[in-house]
Every structure is written in structure tokens, then in C-alpha cells.
Amino acid sequence: MGLHPGMGFSDARAFCRDLQSRPADQKADQDFLNTLARWAKRYCPWVGLEGINGLALNIAGSAHLFGGEAAMMDDMRHGLTQAGITAHLGLADTRGAAWALAHYGEGIAPVGAAQAQIASLPVAALRLEEKTCIALQRLGVRDIAELSALPRATVTRRFGRDVLLRLDQALGAQAEEISPLPEAPHYGVRITLPDPIGLTADVMAGAERVLERLCSKLKSREMGACILQLTLRRVDRSNQQVELRLARPLRDVARILPLFQRGVDQVDAGFGIDQLRLVATQVEPLPATQISHTSTVQHKGLEDLITRIGTRIGLENVQRFLPADSHIPERSFIISPAAYSVPAGSWPTIRLRPLQLFAPEPIGGSDTRPPARFRWRRMSFATARTVGPERIAPEWWLSDENRCSGVRDYWKVETKQGRRLWLFYTPQNPGWFVQGEFA
Amino acid sequence: MFSFALGGQITGSVLWICEGWRTEQISPTGFAPYLDPQNLLYAKAKGQPNVLAVAEEALRSGAISLVIMELSAPIGLTAGRRLQLAAEAGRSTGLCIISEGMGSNAAETRWRCAPIFDAKDSTLQRWELIKNKSGTLSEWDVKWDAETRRVIVVSEAAQRQGSARMPD
């Protein structure tokens, strides 16, 4: 269509009227390329990244497994097309020649014929800088054949060593490596048993063995497991799963093992279990820390307790209070899951606040002073003493439908019946509400 | 206030368990004078059986010194006994907040706490000990002293309303 990278958006719109634009997400692109590299390992073990949008595969010795180079390329192209990816493939003896073919020619260079195959390609196919390419074109050097015909000494003097290095790499005179991506560590271990087991104690002993191996693996990489999944395969080939979500990343066998007890108790062993597989599906870095005599030991028990409670009611339901910077009473604290937060903050008490807060409950009355008698929750109260008003204005920079009735005048009302309530009056929309209760 | 005052006097963590449907929310800005909110964990369980299970787990672990649970239905003999055994094993204290007349036989003590109005003091409460397995029953009028963070028992003679000896 005439579009190319680096084009202005309005220029591109002139070619293609309904062009859509999205901000580039380089991280996602990189992740996708890594995923693609993992997929490409089906063709050969030696897969490296090529720039930001390419992969380099060293298929030496693995092409015959797919029935030859051409069949392998077809298979690759078929797989990529199925996934909706448009790819340019090039195959040659050297990495440079393959790059040139992939970008400018597409196709397979037969063994030993790379030079002939890429001779007619433009000099840009040699992975040269754009400036160098333009300079070469100005001199009338358009394709690779013309460049290789030039005397080497003059080329180096004019353009530096880079041009000849790239040419030699493409033609095979200079070696070039592909550095494969590191294998992502896999935190999973399994144990297969000669005879099926069924007793809880046996299963726990088996779990201890796999857990020991997993924990030593985690320890060697300074990681801690957050979510563990124990899969028990029964003799009849059905799987029983026990999932454990830990409040803190852990790699301590003695602490993790008791936490599995509850899950293992609920497993139906059927005719017996003959394989245990333990996978840490989510891991977090857990660097070794200095042990000191002043550190508190008590936290350990608490974290294990949070985990145990979390397996029953959900880890996000065990919460703690953290201070928040707001003068609105309901927003002056936040509740966050205890597993993912640390206790923090000071709680200054500037003004009296009720022990309990609830959603505002309307009561009768429209005077600006608290009503002398009122009914709340089917009980009648007589006001004995009032403290107030304390005017709290809404946070206008946030939209909150609870606060659309405007400013509130809060009163602490002590009733003759004993209860001490927190009432507020909304002057802009007259009405009285109860929102909290003091001790 | 009884729960928070008790939690403030105990060293160690406090776990507050309630059922998820409750709209009343304890407010840390309110109870901070009594109990440091850093020491409080707040668990929301679904249904009373879960509340009791979590409470038993926490009592038994020993990592928590006080477990406060808000109950909506009376607990049976089995549940009460289990909680008691768990508390003994973990050397911790459990406190159930219940409605009037819902008490369990397993409880060591049962208290009825209500604020009472007083012309001078706005923290006055009456704490009645209405069940005690190892002692006699009694009642006290107490007030909260914010400076020392202590509960102070108010002497009856001076404070009892309508008392002849009450100073003007």
C-alpha cells in the first residue's frame, strides 16, 4: 500500500483512509517475541533474538527431522500463518546471508551458493547503517555483487571496517554466532511411585520428598514460592489437585509442609495415588536475609496462620488496616489484604472518631441543631449532650455519589439511654443521619 | 470498647473475625486510642461455621493473643467446647460478641457492657460480669483515661446516680 515505518501519520492516512493508530507497546512486543522464540524451539534448540523484530535459528543438523530445509520452511510458514503472523523467512549458510534473504529476497540459498543468491540484493541487505548505504548508492554501488567487486583497501579507507565485516559475515569469511535465549527456570518436581499409596501420612511423606527438592531448587535461585500446586495422579489416571496460596513467598520445607495438611485431607485417593507432582506456579524473588538476634520471631507464626486461614476463606479476606491521607472518615483508612501488605503507619487522633462506622441511616429532623428526640433502628433516644458541629467538606477532586449531598456537620450525640452516636446534618440538603457509634 | 480496651492491654496480635454481610465496619481511626491498628488483623468469613473454624485455627496457633468474633447465632455445645480446647492449646483468649441471651456454656466469663450517660464523663460504661466459672459476679462502672490508656474503675459511692452522697 506504500506504507513504511517512520512515516508521518497524516502521510500514511493519505494512502489509507481508515488507518487506525495505537501507541507502541515495546514491552509487549518483546514478550511476544520471547514467546515466539519458545515456539521456534520446536525446530532447533539454538534460537536467538535478531534485533527487535526477528528471530535467528541455527538449524544445523535438525532440518532432516522435518524432511529437508524446504519442508521445514513450509511447516514454519504454515504454523505462523495459522497464528496470524506475517513473517519473512530466509535460510542460508551464514547468518548474514539469511538476514539478507529474509529482508530483501525471501527464499532458501542452497548450500555453498549464498554468494550467488544474495549478489543481486541491494547493499542495505548487509545490515549496514542507513548513512553508509546512501553513501554507497551515491558512488553507484547498488548491489552486493558490485560491492564485493571493489578493491577492499579503498572500501575500508572510505567507509571504515564495518562494511567489509558485514560483507564477510554474509559470505561466510567471518564467523558469526547466534546466542540462544536462556531457558526459563521451571519450578516443578515430581515423583512416581512403584506402588499406589492412599494413607494421608504416606501422601504427606511423599509431598515432603518433592517439596524438599523444590525448595532446594528455589533456594539455589533465591526465589520463594507464592502459589504451590500439588497434583496427585491416581491409578485410574484422574488427577486430584491441592492448591496452596502462601501469605508470603516461602522456601522452607518445615513451614510449607504443615500447610498442605488440610488440602491433602480432603483428597479422595480412590484406588491409590501413584504420582505426585509439585509445581510452584507463581514465584517471587526471596533474597537471603541476615539473621539478627533482634529480629522478631513471632511474625513467622502469624504468616503461617494467615496462610491457613486464607486457604479456608480466601487470602484476600484476611485484611489489615492501613492509614490513608484523607479527612473523610470512611476514607481515612484503607483495608488491604494482610498477605500483600506490611503493617505501617501512625494513627494520629486529632478528633474523636467513632469505633464503628456504617452507611448513613436517615432519622427525622430538619433543624440545624441535633433533634432533642429521635428514633433510630426502632429505638427512641433523647439527646442529653451534644458535641459539635465539625464540618467536613467533600473532596471535590473525587467524584463520589455518597457525598453529593454536600458538606456535612458532624455531631457527637450522647443520649440519655447511654448510647453515644455520631450524627451528621447536611445543610445543603437538609436531613439528619446516623453514621457511627462511639464506645 | 470492652474488646478494644482488652486488645490494647494484651501484648501481641489481635484477630477480628466477622461475617462478610455485616455493614457495620470497625474504624481504625476510632479505635486507635485503645488499640494500635497495626496489631489488628481483620478477617471476613462467609457464614458462621467459617467464622468459628477460623477462630479455632487462630486460637490454636498461638500466634494471636486475642481472637474477637462477631457471632449472629448461638453456638452449640460442641463448637463452644472446641473453641475452649483450642484456646487452651494456644494459650490465647477468645472473645465472642453476641446478642443478649445467646451465650454458650463453654464460656469462662460473660460480660454485659453498655455505655451509660453521665453529665460529666463521656466515656462512662457499665461492665457487668454476668457469668464467671471461677469466681463471683459483680459489676463496675468504668471510664477510659485517654492519657494513660487505661480503664479506670469509678468508685460507686461518688458516681452512682441518685446517690445521696453524690456531690452536686
B69, B90, B107 - which closes a domain: B107
Q: Are residues A362 and A242 in the same domain?
A: no
Give the per-residue pLDDT at B163: 40
Please name which of A255, A263, A175, A181 lies closest in space to residue A212, comparing C-alpha atoms.
A255
Q: How many domains does chain A have?
A: 3
Assess B42–A contact: CB distance below 8 Å, yes or no: yes
* Residue-level pLDDT, tens digit, chain A, 439 residues: 678 888 888 888 888 888 888 888 889 999 899 889 989 989 988 888 888 888 999 888 888 898 888 899 999 999 999 999 888 898 988 888 888 888 887 778 888 787 888 888 888 888 888 888 898 889 888 888 888 888 888 888 888 888 888 888 888 888 888 888 877 788 999 999 999 998 999 999 999 999 999 999 999 988 899 899 999 999 998 999 998 888 788 888 888 888 888 889 888 888 999 999 999 988 888 888 777 666 555 567 788 888 888 888 888 888 888 888 888 888 888 888 887 787 777 777 777 888 888 888 888 877 888 888 888 888 899 998 888 788 888 888 877 776 677 888 899 999 988 888 999 898 888 889 898 888 7
CATH number at residue A57: 1.10.150.20
User: Is position A282 within any domain?
Assistant: yes
Q: Are residues A304 and A417 in the same domain?
A: no
Please name which of A333, A148, A317, A174 lies closest in space to residue A245, comparing C-alpha atoms.
A317
B54, B77, B107 - which closes a domain: B107
A124, A140, A171 - which closes a domain: A171
Domain range spanning residue A361?
356-437
CATH number at residue B50: 3.40.50.300
- Print burial letters for B32-70: b (CB count within 10 Å at least 16), e (below 16): bbbbbbbbbbbbbbeebebbbbbbbbbbbbbbbbbbbbb
Note whether A436 and A356 are within 8 A (CB): yes
Q: Are residues B164 and B94 in the same domain?
A: no
Please name which of A23, A22, A3 lies closest in space to residue A12, comparing C-alpha atoms.
A3
Q: Are residues A49 and A103 in the same domain?
A: yes
Strand stretches in A345-430, DSSP E: 356-363, 373-376, 379-392, 408-415, 420-425
State the smallest CA–CA distance between residue A313 and chain B in angstroms: 6
For the residues B48-63, what does the mean pLDDT come to? Answer: 89
What are the C-alpha distances in Å from B54 to residues A35, B44, B51, B122?
A: 42, 10, 5, 35
Q: Are residues A224 and A146 in the same domain?
A: no
User: Is position A429 within any domain?
Assistant: yes
What is the rounded CA–CA span in Å between residue A352 and residue A387?
A: 10
What is the rounded CA–CA span in Å between residue A392 and residue B36?
A: 25
The rounded Cα B146 to chain-centroid distance in angstroms is: 18
Residues sharing a CB contact under 8 Å with residue A416, sequence separation 6 or more, in sequence order: A381, A382, A383, A384, B117
Domain range spanning residue B6?
1-107
Q: Are residues B29 and B99 in the same domain?
A: yes
Residues present in chain A in total? 439
- The shortest CB-CB distance from B41 to any of A320, A415, A417 is to A320
Give the per-residue pLDDT at A294: 63
User: Is position A231 within any domain?
Assistant: yes
Q: Are residues B77 and B159 in the same domain?
A: no
Packing angle, helices A253-265 and A298-313, rounded to 10: 20
Q: Are residues B64 and B31 in the same domain?
A: yes
User: Is position A177 within any domain?
Assistant: no
Residue A126 has a CB neighbour count (10 Å cut-off) of: 28
Contact A357 B31 (CB under 8 A): no
State the smallest CA–CA distance between residue A362 and chain B in angstroms: 15
Q: Are residues B129 and B86 in the same domain?
A: no
Q: Show residues of chain B in contact with A327, CB under 8 Å.
A: none
User: Is position A116 within any domain?
Assistant: yes
Give the per-residue pLDDT at B158: 53
Q: Are residues B78 and B92 in the same domain?
A: yes
pLDDT tens digits, one per residue of B130-140: 889 888 888 88
B66, B81, B107 - which closes a domain: B107
Which three cell numbers mark B94?
477468645
pLDDT tens digits, one per residue of A309-318: 888 888 888 8
CATH number at residue A301: 3.30.1490.100
Residue B166 in this model has a pLDDT that exceeds 50: no
Q: How confident is the model at residue B168 (pLDDT cuts 50, 70, 90)?
A: very low
- The shortest CB-CB distance from B50 to any of A312, A359, A418 is to A312
Residue type present at position A83: A
Q: Are residues A65 and A163 in the same domain?
A: yes
Q: Are residues B93 and B142 in the same domain?
A: no
- A422: nearest CA in chain B? B30
Contact A319 B62 (CB under 8 A): no
For the residues B122-148, what does the mean pLDDT come to? Answer: 86
- DSSP helix, strand, coil percent of chain B (3-state; round to 5): 30, 35, 40
Q: Are residues A29 and A160 in the same domain?
A: yes
Give the count of Cβ contacts less than 8 A between chain A and B: 132
Q: Are residues B89 and B113 in the same domain?
A: no
Residue matched to cell numbers 490454636: B60
Mean of all residue pLDDT scores within chain B: 83
The secondary structure of A300-353 as a DSSP string is: HHHHHHHHHHHHHH-GGGEEEEEE-S-SSGGGSEEEEEGGG----------S--
Residue B109 in this model has a pLDDT that exceeds 70: yes
Note whether B48 and B104 are within 8 A (CB): no
Give the per-residue pLDDT at A367: 83
Whether omega before A389 lies within 30 degrees of 0, making that bond cis, reads yes
Q: Are residues B92 and B157 in the same domain?
A: no
Assess B44–A contact: CB distance below 8 Å, yes or no: yes
Q: How far apart are the first and last CA of chain B?
A: 29
Phi, psi of B98 (to 5 degrees): -130, 165
Give the per-residue pLDDT at A273: 92
Please name which of A309, A253, A346 lies closest in space to residue B63, comparing C-alpha atoms.
A309
Contact B54 A312 (CB under 8 A): yes
Assess B40–A contact: CB distance below 8 Å, yes or no: yes
Give the per-residue pLDDT at A299: 67
- The shortest CB-CB distance from A321 to any of B40, B45, B46 is to B40
In chain B, what's the furthest Cα-to-Cα distance? 53
Q: How many domains does chain B have?
A: 2
The pairing of beta strand B64-70 with beta strand B13-19? parallel
User: Is position A338 within any domain?
Assistant: no
Note whether B77 and B23 are within 8 A (CB): no
Task: Please give the helix or strand (H or E) that residue B138 lies within, else none.
Answer: strand B138-145
Residues sharing a CB contact under 8 Å with residue A144, sequence separation 6 or more, in sequence order: A100, A118, A119, A120, A121, A122, A123, A125, A126, A167, A170
Q: Are residues B93 and B129 in the same domain?
A: no
Q: Are residues B153 and B74 in the same domain?
A: no
Strand stretches in B49-115, DSSP E: 64-70, 93-97, 109-115
Residue matched to cell numbers 471535590: A396
Q: Are residues B21 and B48 in the same domain?
A: yes
Q: Which of B16, B27, B152 is best to mutate for the A interface (most A CBs within 10 A)?
A: B27
Residue matched to cell numbers 491416581: A234
